[in-house]
Each structure stands twice: as structure tokens, then as C-alpha cells.
Amino acid sequence: GAVVSQHPSWVICKSGTSVKIECRSLDFQATTMFWYRQFPKQSLMLMATSNEGSKATYEQGVEKDKFLINHASLTLSTLTVTSAHPEDSSFYICSASIHPVVTFFGQGTRLTVV
Amino acid sequence: DQQVKQNSPSLSVQEGRISILNCDYTNSMFDYFLWYKKYPAEGPTFLISISSIKDKNEDGRFTVFLNKSAKHLSLHIVPSQPGDSAVYFCAASGVDFGNEKLTFGTGTRLTIIP
């Protein structure tokens, strides 16, 4: 079946550094990928929609300069958390669709900023 | 403004009995609903979905019921098994939301008691 791979699964970084998270669709082409963030005991919050070959669409309240999204190919989208701070520590999940409403999720990335 | 709500943060059910997870939504433009299962530190896994033109969809042990007039859906799992212990998210989508864009509820942690 369709698989979405996310890497790394966990990362610890120092405050002020940048972290890149990759999301790959392994056996299908995804013109649109999505990035979500989950805080403890809270829902998955959509951060942005990543569009291949064009700029990402960010949800209200998400800083586009802080969370850089690049969707350079039909199988890869990247999320870069720039100048990370402890409050950016969270669980980040990407997803991709092969059908309008059936979405496959990556394994998620646990980011800890110290 | 939480457009998709799961009012029970947790639920415990005896193994073999029926588990019923509930979800309410406020936006009448949603026309497709999905349930996802999530283990800690993993991405959500798709379980079952239902279109607004139906009121019931069944897949093995999982049945989703939709009551459009009440803007309410529920997931029934019967019989419940220990492996069903996880967090369950309902999600909603619709044409006006770009189809693939999902709005999630806050989740219900289901614990199956052996």
C-alpha cells in the first residue's frame, strides 16, 4: 500500500539552531502534502499545505518565516524549523493523499529543543 | 474555534464488549468524515470513513454512524480487543476545504481492559 516516510523520527537540537524534517511519498506522487503539529493531549493542528512547485499555504497563526516548507518534487516535502526555541518542541507529522480524502501519514518527528 | 469535537478524552471498555466513540462537528460544509487510530510517537492510521450521503459504513469490527441533522458521528468497535487500545481521532473534510484538508477532533484515548 501507499507509504509516507518521515525522517528523522526524533531529533534533539540546541536553541537557536535549525532543524529539517523530510517527508517522502515512497510509491506514489503527491502534488500536495500537509504538515501537522501535535501538542501533548491535543489534536493534530494543520500548520500548512505544501504544494509541489509553488509556495506553501500556511494556516492562520503559523509563522511562515519560522516554519519553512519546500516541496521541490512530487515525492518530497521538507519542513525546516528555523532558530528553534523550546516552545517549538512538539510532535510534527506530515501527510500525503492519493485520493481526495484518504490521507496517509508519516511516522512523525519528535522535536526537542534544549 | 474547535469545529470537530470529541468530548470524551478517555474511555475504558472491557475486552469483548462494544466501544463507542463519539464526535460532533459544527460546520455543515463538512461532507466527509474519517476515523484514525494513533499510537504514541506514531502517525495516525486510517480506520474507516463515511460520506455525508450515507448514514452507516461498516468494515469488519468497525462501524461508523453519521447523523447529519445532529452533526454527530460515532465509531463502534465490536468486539473490543486489547490491541484496540490507542487514541482515536475523528476528522472531517469537504469540497470547500480543498477535499484533502482534514480538521481533527481532540482525540479519545481508548483503553481495553483484559
Residue keyed to cell 445532529: B70
What are B38-70's pLDDT values in tens digits?
A: 988 788 888 999 999 999 999 999 999 999 999
What are A36-72's pLDDT values in tens digits?
A: 998 776 778 889 988 888 889 999 999 999 999 998 8
A97 contacts in B (CB within 8 Å)? 100
Between chain A and chain B, the number of residue pairs with CB atoms below 8 A apart is 63
Look at residue A35 and tell me whether its pLDDT is greater than 90. Answer: yes
For residue A43, the distance in angstroms to the closest alpha carbon of chain B comes to 4
The radius of gyration computed from the CA coordinates of chain A, to the nearest angstrom, equals 13
d(CA A49, CA A58): 6
B107 contacts in A (CB within 8 Å)? 42-43
A51 touches chain B (CB under 8 A): no
Nearest to A97 by CA among B60, B2, B40, B91: B91
Mutate to test the interface with B, among A43, A71, A94, A107 (most CBs of B within 10 A): A43
Look at residue B13 and tell me whether its pLDDT is greater than 80. Answer: yes
pLDDT at A101: 61
Q: Do B100 and A93 touch (CB under 8 A)?
A: no
pLDDT at B95: 63
Binned at pLDDT 50, 70 and 90, residue B35 comes out as: very high
Cell numbers at A93, concatenated: 507529522
d(CA A87, CA A75): 30
What are B67-105's pLDDT values in tens digits?
A: 999 999 999 999 999 999 999 999 998 765 555 678 899
Task: Judge contact between B63 and B53, C-beta under 8 A.
Answer: no
d(CA A106, CA B42): 8
Mutate to test the interface with A, among B6, B100, B101 (most CBs of A within 10 A): B100
pLDDT at B10: 95
pLDDT at A99: 65
pLDDT at A72: 82
d(CA B5, CA B22): 9
B5 contacts in A (CB within 8 Å)? none
DSSP character string of A53-96: TS--EEPTT--TTTEEEEEEETTEEEEEE-S--GGG-EEEEEEE
pLDDT at A73: 87
What are A64-114's pLDDT values in tens digits?
A: 999 999 988 889 999 999 999 999 999 999 998 766 567 789 999 999 999
Which residue of A lies nearest to B109 if distances are taken between CA atoms? A41
Q: Do B49 and A106 touch (CB under 8 A)?
A: no
